[in-house]
Amino acid sequence: MSYQRYCLVCNSSKCGHYSKAIADNIKHYLRENNIKDIKVVMTECFGLCKQGPIVKIMPDNIVYSGVKPMDTKEIVEKHLINGEVVSRLVHENKKSKQLKIVLRNCGFIDPENIDDYIEKDGYFALAKALKMSRMDVINEIKLSGLRGRGGGGFPTGLKWEYAYKQNSDQKYVVCNADEGDPGAFMDRSVLEGDPHSVIEGMLICGYAIGSNKGLVYTRAEYPLAVKRLSKAIKDAREYGFLGNNIMGSGFNFDIEIKYGAGAFVCGEETALIRSMEGERGEPTSKPPYPAESGYWDKPTNVNNVETFANVPVIINKGANWFNKIGTEKSKGTKVFALAGKINNVGLIEVPMGITLREIIFDIGGGIKDGKRFKAVQTGGPSGGCLTEKDLDTPIDYDTLLAKGSMMGSGGMIVMDEDDCMVAVAKFYLEFTVDESCGKCTPCRVGNKRLYELLEKVTSGKATFSDLDKIKNLSNVIKDTALCGLGQTAPNPVLSTITNFWDEYVAHVNEKSCPSGQCKELIRYIIDHNKCVGCTACVRVCPVYAISGKVREPHTIDQDKCIKCGACYNTCKFDAIYKK
Amino acid sequence: MKHVKMESYFSRLESFIDSLEDKKGSLITVLHKAQDIFGYLPEEVQSFVAKKLGIPRSKVYGVVTFYSFFTMTPKGKYPISVCLGTACYVRGAAKLLDEFKRKLEIDIGQTTKDGLFSLDGLRCVGACSLAPVVIIKDKVYGKVTVDMVEKIISEYKALGVV
């Protein structure tokens, strides 16, 4: 049955609280009015979480934001029946700078319905590719300029060609869906919102390199993604897109899901392969590359979710369409997970070459609570921070590297004036120390020592020679660690020490934290002019550090104070301040 | 009673392992199932898995301790996970974690004496728009503040050990 209109209700994390009630209400009013040619679909994140819950009407392309269950009657009666837009709910479109290739279907189709995907030209690219020669498919990907979206940015076509040239009875296609970068959720959204695009990308890759077996390595922490993907694989088998003699071409291919178990290092391709074999996910040195000797020592091509999702579009629209988007060396778009101290949190997809200013201020709606922008971390724990002076730099793989950061998988964490950059560097390093597999010494021992040095800085015990040590040690680790995780671990440190040298100096010289974040360097002090002696602070202090008589100004014993901030949060008279 | 229950757990795990077509490389899959059944992976379970798969116990232990998803201590009835991803961090997750530690008097990875709560930190659940996020069992709490901690804990205490 064909539908006249589609009513899309966002069902992702934030809107999800209301989405069921909203969808049920809409269905109820449609039934009440005996309307059958409008389909209500639960979809994934529109990237407007701050303005949620979101309802979108297609093909009218009207987005309603801040929709409450009680608004549904108006939407149904006014818009769906009379075709009149409910103007008070229309979302002001600030997102025109986006371009959706990877997220083309996310939020527009029912991810659990294969027919929806087919209706959007799904599996057309596969049919087209199967009529091309294998080398022609690879050349098309090479010509498109597509680079790996997992972080490194290696040209995808070259990777495929390398795997294609291997002579072996068995080759594997692996989809890396082990999205471990904290603050990044691009792959999860693609798997949850458009699983078939990943399956189709893997199929085309399998055909091109001569493989009949695909594996998706995903996190056990993403149950919905796993559920949607499993359903998609099952449906694709039923429709004959997976299995033997696909579309009568004689090409066989099937996909299996493998689960990770929570290890960040498994995003590194050699570690990922070890983990799929049921081993500890420790990386091995390259060469040999997985393309020569990977899963069970067979040639293996590993690409990430976003990379695969790009493939069907490239085949459908042609390499020459794709390579007109972006910059000279970085083609196409990139999905970013915009989070932190920003107004519009959510997923965005933008053409390569867009500036940070456009992302943060136009799309992201600026900094929360009107605070001042300080920095943005890209590339997660492997990347670095960009500051105010970088706001107008076009973003692509190479400019980010030149700035001491990296593209990474696409996490973008925005920080404001209240964030201490030394503490941020320490936070990222703590993450990598925690996730280090322990195989090589520079990472296992070096990063731990580096972390301890940073701890000295944030507790006000460091000297200038420690700052030199931090720089030297960082460079040694970069040069000597075995895998990407270790080599890039010092990046956040180096990048903050370069960009925010003054903050480091303040911690060392004045033993103070300019942002008031480093606990050991804060002192809570009671302003005797404002204190009325209500004793509220005395009652919340867990270590009995506050003394004073009722209705007389109180004092905090700095030797006893553990700087928990309970008194600061409790005082109703603003009499306690941080110094 | 408890003994009978354990036996049925082991037989469930055994039939799962026997049903695997290819045991090669299946260790992580088997451990996922085992943790699903037992709730955690104590030594007896690890030995059992090692024997069934024909691999050394040291290898099983190596894998269990490598991956943060696997645990060797039983979780509380209401496992509390505080997200420590970057977005939650910049929005104050560390303070939340401290508050849970203080209120429950346990550290990360521990379980309260009454078996009600266990505390863990985890890395990003991808709900960054709700930061900071706390997950208790399957329920997600968004935009949690230090003041809310006490109330959340007492909600579950009221449910009790039933």
Residue among A183, A281, A377 whose CB faces B66 most closely: A281
Instruction: Encode pLDDT of B23-50 as tens digits.
Output: 889 999 999 999 989 989 999 999 999 9
Residue among A222, A261, A337 whose CB faces B28 most closely: A261
Instruction: Encode pLDDT of A199-214 as tens digits.
Output: 999 999 999 999 999 9
A23-A24-A30-A34 Cα dihedral, nearest 10 degrees = 150
Contacts of A542 in chain B (CB under 8 A): 102
Q: Is the pLDDT reported for residue B3 higher than 80?
A: no
Distance of alpha carbon A177 from alpha carbon B128, whole angstroms: 18
∠ CA(A263), CA(A267), CA(A273), 5° rounding?
A: 95
Q: What is the pLDDT of residue A95?
A: 46
Region B83-101: mean pLDDT is 88
B84 and B40 within one domain: no
A2-A7-A11-A14 Cα dihedral, nearest 10 degrees = 160
CB contact under 8 Å between A220 and B32, yes or no, is yes
Report yes or no on B95 lying in a domain: yes
DSSP structure class, residue A396: S
Report yes or no on B73 lying in a domain: no
Region B99-121: mean pLDDT is 91
B84 and B61 within one domain: no
B35 and B14 within one domain: yes
How far from the centroid of its chain's Cα atoms is residue B136's Cα? 11
∠ CA(B136), CA(B128), CA(A397), 5° rounding?
A: 140
Contacts of A182 in chain B (CB under 8 A): 84-87, 89, 123-124
Scanning every residue of chain A, which has its alpha carbon at the shortest distance from the alpha carbon of B27? A278
Q: Is the pLDDT reported for residue A487 higher than 50?
A: yes
Domains in chain A, CATH or no CATH each: 5-89 (3.40.30.10), 114-322 (3.40.50.11540), 333-416 (3.10.20.600), 421-509 (1.20.1440.230), 523-578 (3.30.70.20)
User: Helix or strand or coil: residue A321?
Assistant: helix
Region A520-539: mean pLDDT is 91
Residue A212, classified by CB atoms within 10 Å of its CB into exposed (0-12), middle (13-18) or buried (19+), is: middle
Distance of alpha carbon A387 from alpha carbon A567, whole angstroms: 34
B42 and B21 within one domain: yes
CB contact under 8 Å between A339 and B131, yes or no, is yes
Sheet-wide strand order for A38-43: A38-43, A5-10, A55-58, A62-64
- Looking up tokens 């600061």 gives A568
Distance of alpha carbon A89 from alpha carbon A74, whole angstroms: 10
B15 and B88 within one domain: no
For residue A53, say if its preceding peptide bond is cis, omega within 30 degrees of 0: yes
Q: Closest Cα of chain A to B116: distance in Å? A: 22
Asked if residues A347 and A338 have their Cβ atoms less than 8 Å apart, the reply is yes
Instruction: Encode pLDDT of A499-513 as tens digits.
Output: 999 999 999 999 999
> Does the CB of B31 have a partner CB in chain A at under 8 Å?
yes
Report yes or no on B55 lying in a domain: yes
Of the residues B46, B66, B86, the one at which a domain ends: B66
> If pLDDT is split at 50, 70 and 90, which confidence band does A2 have?
low
Residue among B32, B124, B129 whose CB faces A261 most closely: B32
B55 and B32 within one domain: yes
User: Helix or strand or coil: residue A545?
Assistant: coil
**Mean pLDDT of all residues belonging to chain A:** 91
Q: Is the pLDDT reported for residue A159 higher than 90?
A: yes
Angle of helix A134-144 relative to helix A195-209, nearest 10 degrees, comes to 120
Q: How many CB atoms lie within 10 A of CB A195?
A: 29
CB contact under 8 Å between B140 and A277, yes or no, is no
Of the residues B33, B66, B99, the one at which a domain ends: B66
Of the residues B66, B88, B107, the one at which a domain ends: B66
Within A15-80, where are the H helices?
A: 16-32, 72-74
Q: Beta strands A38-43 and A5-10: pairing type?
A: parallel
Q: Closest Cα of chain A to B4: distance in Å? A: 30
Report yes or no on B72 lying in a domain: no
Instruction: Encode pLDDT of A26-62 as tens digits.
Output: 888 888 888 888 888 887 777 677 777 888 887 777 8
CA pseudo-torsion sign A472, A477, A479, A484: negative
B120 and B59 within one domain: no
Q: What is the pLDDT of residue A96?
A: 64
Report yes or no on B48 lying in a domain: yes
Phi first, then psi: give them for residue A195, nearest 5 degrees: -60, -30
Report yes or no on B71 lying in a domain: no
Helix (H) or strand (E) holding B10: helix B2-19
Scanning every residue of chain A, which has its alpha carbon at the shortest distance from the alpha carbon of B87? A340
Lowest mean pLDDT among A203-217, A395-409, B94-108, B121-135: B121-135
B152 and B94 within one domain: yes
Buried b / exposed e over A300-329, threshold 16 CB at 10 Å, is bbbbbbbbbbbbbbbbbeebeebbebbbee
Contacts of A409 in chain B (CB under 8 A): none
CB contact under 8 Å between B28 and A278, yes or no, is yes
Contacts of B122 in chain A (CB under 8 A): 221
> Does the CB of B128 have a partner CB in chain A at under 8 Å?
yes
Q: Is the pLDDT reported for residue A460 higher than 50?
A: yes
Report yes or no on B153 lying in a domain: yes
User: Helix or strand or coil: residue A42?
Assistant: strand
User: Helix or strand or coil: residue A423?
Assistant: helix
Residues 6+ positions from B32 with CB-CB distance below 8 Å:
A220, A259, A261, B69
For residue A287, say if its preceding peptide bond is cis, omega within 30 degrees of 0: yes
> Does the CB of A413 have a partner CB in chain B at under 8 Å?
yes
Within A132-276, where are the H helices?
A: 134-144, 156-165, 186-193, 195-209, 223-238, 269-276
Q: Closest Cα of chain A to B66: distance in Å? A: 6
Within A459-490, where are the H helices?
A: 464-480, 484-488
Phi first, then psi: give them for residue A329, nearest 5 degrees: -110, -5
Residue among B85, B91, B127 whose CB faces A13 most closely: B127
Distance of alpha carbon A133 from alpha carbon A124, whole angstroms: 16
Q: Choose, out of B21, B30, B124, the residue to mutate when testing the contact with A (most A CBs < 10 Å).
A: B124
CB contact under 8 Å between A345 and B126, yes or no, is no
Residue among A188, A259, A337 whose CB faces B32 most closely: A259
> If pLDDT is split at 50, 70 and 90, which confidence band does A146 have?
very high
CB contact under 8 Å between A185 and B128, yes or no, is yes
- ipTM comes to 0.79
Q: How far is CA B112 from CA B99, B109, B116, B117, B147, in A?
A: 15, 10, 6, 5, 21
Q: Is the pLDDT reported for residue B147 higher than 50?
A: yes
Q: What is the pLDDT of residue A520?
A: 85
Distance of alpha carbon B34 from alpha carbon B14, whole angstroms: 10
Q: Is the pLDDT reported for residue A575 higher than 90?
A: yes
Q: Which CATH number goes with the domain that contains B136?
A: 3.40.30.10
Region A511-533: mean pLDDT is 90
Q: Choose, out of A185, A433, A578, the residue to mutate when testing the contact with B (most B CBs < 10 Å).
A: A185
As a whole number of Å, the end-to-end CA separation of chain A is 68
Instruction: Encode pLDDT of A73-83 as tens digits.
Output: 888 888 888 88
By 3-state DSSP, what share of chain B in percent is helix, strand and coil, each rounded to 5?
Answer: 50, 10, 35
Report yes or no on B116 lying in a domain: yes
Contacts of B105 in chain A (CB under 8 A): none
Question: pLDDT above 90 covers what percent of chain B?
Answer: 56
A415-A420-A421-A423 Cα dihedral, nearest 10 degrees = -120
> Does the CB of B82 have a partner CB in chain A at under 8 Å?
no
> If pLDDT is split at 50, 70 and 90, which confidence band does B1 have?
very low
User: Of A116, A92, A95, A109, which is closest to residue A11 (Cα–Cα)?
Assistant: A109
CB contact under 8 Å between A427 and B25, yes or no, is no
DSSP structure class, residue A342: B
Distance of alpha carbon A48 from alpha carbon A67, whole angstroms: 12
Q: Closest Cα of chain B to A374: distance in Å? A: 13
Residue among B25, B122, B128 whose CB faces A339 most closely: B128
CB contact under 8 Å between B86 and A415, yes or no, is no
Q: What is the pLDDT of residue A312?
A: 97
B87 and B51 within one domain: no
CB contact under 8 Å between B85 and A183, yes or no, is yes
Buried b / exposed e over A223-245, threshold 16 CB at 10 Å, is eebbebbeebbebbeeeebbeee
> Does the CB of B54 have a partner CB in chain A at under 8 Å?
no
More confident residue, A156 or B90: A156
User: Helix or strand or coil: residue A210?
Assistant: coil
Q: How far is CA A112 from CA A6, A27, A225, B60, in A?
A: 16, 19, 11, 36
DSSP structure class, residue B106: -
Q: Choose, out of B68, B123, B135, B145, the residue to mutate when testing the contact with A (most A CBs < 10 Å).
A: B123
How far from the centroid of its chain's Cα atoms is residue A384's Cα? 15
B150 and B82 within one domain: yes
Quote the number of domains for chain B: 2
Contacts of A305 in chain B (CB under 8 A): none
Scanning every residue of chain A, which has its alpha carbon at the shortest distance from the alpha carbon of B23? A278
B155 and B82 within one domain: yes
Domain enclosing residue B103, as ranges: 78-159
B152 and B86 within one domain: yes
